[in-house]
Amino acid sequence: MQKQEMNLQEIALAHSLTLEEFENIKEILGREPNYVEIGIFSAMWSEHCSYKSSKKYLSGFPTSAPWVIQGPGENAGVIDIGDGYAAVFKMESHNHPSFIEPYQGAATGVGGILRDVFTMGARPIANMNSIRFASIEGNSETAKKHRFLLRGVVAGIGGYGNCMGVPTIGGETTFEECYAGNNLVNAFTIGLAKSNEIFLGKAEGLGNPVMYVGSKTGRDGLGGAVMSSAAFTEDSESKRPTVQVGDPFTEKLLLEACLELFKADLIIGIQDMGAAGLTSSSFEMAGRSGSGMIMHLDKVPAREEGMTPYDFMLSESQERMLICAKKGCEQGVIDIFEKWELDVAVIGEVTNTGNMELFWHGEKCAEVPVQPVSEQAPVLDRPTKKPAYLDGIENITLDKEISNQAAFDDLFSDMEVVDKSWVYSQYDSMVQTNTIKGPGSLDGSSIRIKETGKALSMSADCNTRLCYINPELGAAAAVMESGRNVAMTGAVPKAITDCLNFGNPTNPEVMWQFAASCEGIKKACRELNTPVIGGNVSLYNETNGVGVFPTPSIAMVGVNEDANKVLPSCVQENGNILYILGETKSEFGASLYMKKMYGKVAGTHPEVNFTKELALWNTVIEANKLGLLKSAKDVNIGGIAISAAKMAVVGNKGIEISISLNDSKDIFSESLSRAIVELKPENCQTFEEVAKSFNIEYTRIGQVGGDKISINDIYKDLDKASFVYFNRFKQVIEQDL
């Protein structure tokens, strides 16, 4: 199995292993590794699989609470949602593959996260995604490229999710020039399971059979984990073969087969074959249990002729699982998967040696101790340095004479603000018939739990501009925003999963950003009582030395005790009264106003106050329980003016707002911990008492009605604003079709 044309050291370097790591491998094995073993170590010790640069900073995340059933370390996190049920959820990146091949990269990202969830024993009930690109406006080569990427990514997400019969009910699409060389695709799935029927990825019990199920193994995706752990250059196109190819119809069969398997009490553990394929699944399963494993690679179902042990171990072919079955139950497992017309084979067994022993037609072709590979990957303490760009970033004055009307017109037509129905209309949001609040409805999305009469609400958020000017506070603000969006539906935020997207970790400034962002998440989750139950780190989002802004995407999940009380985020009835909750200050750091009017991402980060944030959540949740509110929307991008206008156009009703502010342009301020709420006139007094009880500022600012949007000195016909809001995105994305 040796590559004779290169010496072992050269082979190791070609696999992105360092000389130090190569020496470490020789020490672990007590000999030189062979080609297969080098492949195994390179995959498991890649950034993507081992978290070697990030692990230091991930420790200390708050991960426990009375409602947390399973925290980080498994395929997905699990929380108790009452009545004997659990929500299983995770978010993961597929950034690099989606840049190289947008359709398959995004599609397999959705497929992978779905498998992570149903591997735990849960039926997937909803998807979300967070996708980020450079500007798609204009005729520059970058704009044309990103229109192409966006169309491909959206088609891939829709193509896979729709075929699986899982609704895509929310997400975000944002634009920033830092994503010119690396678009980001983060996929989220949530599933439902009985709380006492959660399955884990473990292999234990001497002699228990190891079984392969799902699709046959081909050569697609070879080296995918290593590719995802490197920065891009101009030749990224050459990496196309490392992108996996998905088949959602096979995955649908795999989902149903696995759910049937779980009911039959035939297995010990099960693991998705994701990044690094059979290598990661086998080592992780054995590693969690401290056991060993024998695998006969010639017994793995093959899709191509002439495949080698190396190919079988490193392939990232999709729609595959590794199972540790109970001894004597092999035929029961085989019967289920054959019924669903899927490949199934006994390929090995659990041992107590602590080693992974691989055989090829009866001959041993590799033997590696499990623990050093799976649990003892290098933990790097990379140097950190405060980025030079932060020096003086706060020194900016907003001194232009700009009318609020002109600013509003500019901001309201921005790609970040306008409706993305062109995107979400390609996703089936209503399949399974449980969607209560879907895409385009503003703020959090909600899905009914038929079995209990409750609802789950969720939101995926990150303001990357805030993270750029202050990574710690920006990351905290992302947790706050995702929780706020969930609270606006009336649900109690319970836990997060994250997807931490950053540039090249060999750059000390990037590592400083990462460390600071982790601190922000830790503080926010601790103060808001929303533990981290899983997540993903994606580094090396850099092309030709230019990295992305820090992008710690946060997905929050919350529980609404009554599915009939999910709160809308757009105006509902003429004559209703509008209030602003929270304090508005002149806070324009990294705001959309500053970006559009001044062409800068700079300034001071808005105040982060967890007490005020919790007060806001609790006020809205309690007022909703009492039936006082008709709608609620958080105030974020573009401030009161843009948030209120969105409520109006989505609800198709005019609004009239008058609010006294320190400066007239504060109507666009992006102060945190604020919301606009709508209620009937007769409920105002009771509502004010609720707000007082939580010690939150409240101001009556206007009412619903008419055919205009009137906000202080801003006026817009409702129909004209609606035309811009609902049509602008389509005009831009389809301009070169």
pLDDT tens per residue, range 540-590: 999 988 999 999 999 999 999 999 999 999 999 999 999 999 999 999 999
pLDDT value at residue 219: 87
Q: Tell me the mean pLDDT in the region 209-234.
A: 73
Point out the catalytic residue in the list 15, 48, 146, 605.
48
Point out the catalytic residue in the list 94, 96, 296, 605.
94
Question: b or e along 407-429 (b: 16 or more beta carbons within 10 Å of the residue's beta carbon)?
Answer: bbeebbbbbbbbbbebbbebbbb
Confidence band (pLDDT; 50, 70, 90) for 245?
A: confident
Question: b or e along 160-197 (b: 16 or more beta carbons within 10 Å of the residue's beta carbon)?
Answer: bbbbbebbbbbbbbbbbebbbbbbbbbbbbbbbbebee
Residue 123 near residue 432 (C-beta atoms within 8 A): no
Q: Tell me the mean pLDDT in the region 480-498.
A: 98
pLDDT value at residue 641: 98
Question: Does residue 235 surpass a pLDDT of 90?
Answer: no
Q: Which of 46-60, 325-339, 443-457, 588-602 has the lowest mean pLDDT?
A: 46-60
pLDDT value at residue 234: 52
Residue 9 near residue 19 (C-beta atoms within 8 A): yes
% of the chain surpassing 90 pLDDT: 89
Cβ neighbors of 45 (< 8 A, separation 6 or more) are 17, 21, 52, 373, 377, 378
- Which residue type sits at 90? K
If one counts every other C-beta atom within 10 angstroms of the C-beta of residue 340, the result is: 19
pLDDT value at residue 619: 98
Measured in degrees and rounded to the nearest 5, phi and psi for residue 569 equal -120, 10
pTM over 0.85: yes
Residue 677 near residue 581 (C-beta atoms within 8 A): yes
Instruction: Give the pair of three-digit tokens for residue 66.
Output: 């009375």
pLDDT value at residue 240: 43
Strands 708-711 and 714-717 come out as: antiparallel
E strand residue ranges, 604-692:
631-634, 655-657, 675-679
Q: CA dihedral defined by 647, 133, 316, 283, rounded to 10 degrees?
A: -70
Residue 692 near residue 619 (C-beta atoms within 8 A): no
Confidence band (pLDDT; 50, 70, 90) for 3?
A: very low
Q: Tell me the mean pLDDT in the region 10-16.
A: 90
Cβ neighbors of 460 (< 8 A, separation 6 or more) are 91, 128, 129, 130, 170, 171, 172, 186, 188, 482, 553, 554, 555
Question: Does residue 2 surpass a pLDDT of 50?
Answer: no
E strand residue ranges, 467-526:
492-501
Question: Does residue 239 surpass a pLDDT of 90?
Answer: no
Give CA–CA dist 685/506, Å, rounded: 57
Active site residue 94: yes
Question: Does residue 162 surpass a pLDDT of 50?
Answer: yes
pLDDT value at residue 246: 79
Q: Tell me the mean pLDDT in the region 326-337.
A: 97
pLDDT value at residue 226: 53
Active site residue 15: no
Number of separate helices (H) and strands (E) present in the chain: 24, 28
Q: How far apart are the first and last CA of the chain?
A: 49
Residue 719 near residue 725 (C-beta atoms within 8 A): no
Give CA–CA dist 33/236, Å, rounded: 29
Look at the block and give the residue holding tokens 């082979």. Answer: 11
